[in-house]
Structures are given as C-alpha cells and as structure tokens.
C-alpha cells in the first residue's frame, strides 16, 4: 500500500508519518509539506491512500484536486476547519477528520480505505483472474505472476509451498525458500487457489497439498512442508486435514 501524506505543519507531518509507519511498517509513505510539492505528488498519482491537510499555507488542497482523476484512490482529509466537508465528500472521501485528531480515528479511517481498495481491486481483477484460474485448471498454463517491488515475478504453481497472511498482505513461501509478498488478503488468495490443490489450515495459512510431508501432533497440530516450514493447524481445520491424509492410507 502506498500512502501520500500532505501537511504543511512539520511537527504534525512528523507525527503523522511516525503513527502510520508504526502501524503499517511495510507500506510506502511519501510526504509533501508545501503547495507546489503537494501538486507534484498528487499529479504523479503514485499513491493508493491520500491523507491530506485541507489548507496548505493559504491555499486549499481542492485547488489541486480539480481535474485530477481519483479513480482507485482513497482520500482522508484532516483540517481545523469544518467548512470544507461538502467539497471533501464530493471527492468521495473516506473521512473528514477535524484537528486535533485521535490516532484511533485515523487508524479506523485507514482500515476503511483499505477495505475499499480491496473491493475495487476485486471488481477490477476478478474477471481476468478467473480466466487465469480456468486456464490453470485446464492445464494450459502452470504458473502465475505475482507483483513485487521490481515488477512481476512469474511463479510455477508447483513451487508454491504455502501462503502466509499478515493484515492485508500475503507472503508466498516457495520451494527454494524464497518469499514474495503481495498486497492481497488471504481470503482473496484462497478464493483463487482453492480449486488448484491448496487448502486453508489456519486463519493465517494456506498450504499446497503437494508439499505436505507430515502431520504433527506435538504442542498442538501442525503440518511439515517439503521446505522444512512448519505450519500451524487450527482445531477447526484438523478434521479436514485428517480426512485428507486418511485418503492416502493403505490401512483398514
């Protein structure tokens, strides 16, 4: 997730950046503290969530936003003046927060923005991704592409050992012990990969059945994977895991 912070009070900007960095350490945060810098950052459009002070010096942020395409961007406005609320919500703002603001209120707004981004992404990508999944099922292709910092990484399905979730991110653990992190929820990944031999064994884990080597009962339940990775199994998922393992049994 990429966040753009615009605030002309440097102490306030520092507080904002510190608060968001501590809560979302993997996110990319860009800042602007004057009107021209703000104009440049917004026009570049390289952000997902914008947290904007309404007044930058003597000029309004809405002077910049006129004519700017805000599709797939979520905006949160911070201000000491409540007279701009209508303009803010004409931009489909997630929230309009009066200063001094609470960190809890800001975090709630960011979470709402994240949910909106996920929903928009699902609507935009589901059609092409479902086509991709169907192609995989039909064995016309055997790999998927995952976005990373440098671009896109082409990964063979058979090389994916497990997927681990943390907040709105998923980390793919590969057979060569490489990891790739993408900005998607585990529920979204599960929906796409469930028909392809993956199953959910924990609220934070999705595993590739082909890489499971052992079912362990020490200190709770867990699965050992071909890479040596140990993945926890919840009590709720235990029955499903056991049924799957018993399907390979040669005993009565």
Q: What pLDDT was estimated at residue 46?
A: 77
Quick one: pLDDT at residue 125?
A: 52
Q: How many CB atoms lie within 10 A of CB 148?
A: 12
Using an 8 Å Cβ cutoff, are 189 and 195 in contact? no
Burial class (CB in 10 A: 0-12, 13-18, 19+), 190: middle
What are the chain's domains?
Answer: 2-117 (3.40.50.2300), 142-246 (2.40.50.1020)
pLDDT less than 50: residues of the chain: 136, 139-140, 252
Q: What is the dihedral angle through the alpha carbons of 70, 119, 188, 136, rounded to the nearest 10 degrees?
A: -70
What pTM was computed for the model?
Answer: 0.49
pLDDT given for residue 34 in this prediction: 92
Give the Å distances, CA to CA, from 63 to 3, 53, 219: 20, 13, 60
Distances (CA, A) of 1 to 123, 138, 152: 18, 33, 16
d(CA 129, CA 133): 6
Q: Would you state the pLDDT for residue 104?
A: 87
């Amino acid at each position: 997730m990429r966040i753009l912070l615009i605030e002309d009070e440097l102490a306030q900007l520092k507080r904002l950046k510190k608060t968001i960095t501590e809560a979302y350490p993997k996110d990319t945060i860009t800042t602007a503290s004057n009107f021209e810098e703000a104009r440049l950052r917004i026009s570049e459009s390289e952000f997902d969530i914008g947290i904007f002070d309404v007044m930058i010096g003597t000029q309004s942020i809405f002077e910049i936003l006129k004519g700017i395409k805000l599709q797939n961007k979520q905006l949160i406005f911070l201000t000491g003046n409540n007279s701009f609320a209508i303009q803010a919500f004409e931009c489909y703002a997630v929230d309009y927060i009066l200063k001094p603001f609470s960190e809890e209120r800001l975090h709630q707004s960011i979470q709402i923005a994240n949910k909106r981004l996920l929903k928009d992404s699902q609507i935009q990508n589901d059609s092409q991704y479902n086509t991709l999944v169907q192609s995989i099922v039909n064995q016309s292709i055997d790999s998927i592409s995952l976005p990373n910092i440098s671009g896109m990484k082409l990964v063979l399905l058979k090389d994916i050992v497990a997927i681990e979730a943390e907040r709105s991110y998923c980390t793919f653990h590969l057979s060569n012990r490489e990891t790739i992190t993408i900005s998607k929820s585990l529920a979204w990944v599960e929906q796409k990969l469930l028909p392809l031999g993956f199953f959910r064994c924990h609220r934070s884990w999705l595993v590739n059945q082909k890489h499971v080597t052992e079912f362990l009962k020490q200190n709770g339940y867990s699965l050992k994977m071909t890479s040596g990775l140990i993945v926890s199994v919840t009590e709720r998922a235990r029955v499903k895991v056991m049924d799957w393992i018993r399907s390979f049994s040669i005993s009565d």
